[in-house]
Amino acid sequence: MAQNIYDNPEFFAGYSRLPRQVQGLGGAPEWPAIRAMLPDLNGKRVVDLGCGFGWASRWMRKQGAASVLGLDLSQKMIERARADTGDAAIEYRIADLDALALPEAAFDLAYSALAFHYVRDFDRLVRTIRKALVPEGQFVFTIEHPIFMAAQNPQWLDGEDGRKTWPVNGYAIEGERRTDWFAKGVLKYHRTFGTTLNTLIEAGFQIRRVEEFAPTPQQIQTTPQLAEELERPMMLLVSAS
Ligand SMILES: C[S@@+](CC[C@H](N)C(=O)[O-])C[C@H]1O[C@@H](n2cnc3c(N)ncnc32)[C@H](O)[C@@H]1O
């Protein structure tokens, strides 16, 4: 049974105040890198897995996507996505990615941002997505980077050279991780970088591009606190077909 922490009122209130939720895609520093991985959306049938407030679903329709199906476990997220969207070609539904069922060969693009690290059975999910895509379909997703995930309730340490140090421990021990982020004991699932990519390969995907997001010098100039993202990757971006 998935945790559904996004329906926790305290968590939801805190999460809703993040720049990426207030400003939308422009508030996510990794968005330009994701955008560069996305195919031409014109006429595409898209499924947005863990769609949250629906920022990407709406953007994809503006880029010409024929339809977008946004799925999310959280009723609060789906309610907000519906309230912010006035477009009959976007449908939002409550769904658990750990028990996902999708029609076969029904989508040209499967997209997901920062949701799969909440999923226990990644292998099942990836195989379901593979069957739901047309043969030339594309799959673009982001997750918390395994190096970021591996640390439990991670806190920066002072490195000997004056740099910040990130405490990665138990990297090869996959499975549950609990962190305190807007609520105590938020449940996530750690998988190594190798497992993540091999799961895609074994399901029949061809990996097209992998980005371990790091901010550009211009982004750091505008938002100096992003400099800490140079010390360890926080997000992994993958494109496959
Ligand atoms: C960090 S938010 C990202 C939301 C959106 N993709 C974005 O980038 O703004 C993660 C989303 O995944 C959803 N989620 C978590 N576990 C899920 C599951 N098992 N099935 C479906 N959605 C899930 C949460 O409810 C939340 O909306």
Per-residue pLDDT of the chain (241 residues; tens, 9 = 90+): 788 888 888 888 888 888 888 888 988 999 999 999 999 999 999 999 999 999 999 999 999 999 999 999 999 999 999 999 999 999 999 999 999 999 999 999 999 999 999 999 999 999 999 999 999 999 999 999 999 988 867 788 888 888 888 888 899 999 999 988 888 889 999 999 999 999 999 999 999 999 999 999 999 999 999 999 999 999 999 999 9
What values do phi and psi take at 9, rounded to 5?
Answer: -55, -40
Domains of the chain in start order, with CATH, are 5-12+37-240 (3.40.50.150)
**Ramachandran area for residue 63 (φ above 0: left; ψ -120 to 50: alpha; else beta):** alpha
Q: Which two tokens stand for residue 200?
A: 């895609």
Give strand ranges (E) for the chain. 45-49, 67-72, 90-94, 107-113, 133-144, 157-158, 164-165, 175-179, 186-190, 207-212, 235-240
Mutate to test the pocket of ligand 1, among 31, 90, 97 (most ligand atoms within 8 A of CB): 97
Q: How far is the CA of 97 from the centre of ligand 1 (A)?
A: 9
Ligand 1 atom 10: residue of nearest CA: 115
Q: If residue 57 lies in a helix (H) or strand (E), which one and from where to where?
A: helix 55-62
Ligand 1 atom with minimal separation from the 5 CA: 25
Residue 157 CA to residue 217 CA, distance in Å, equals 24
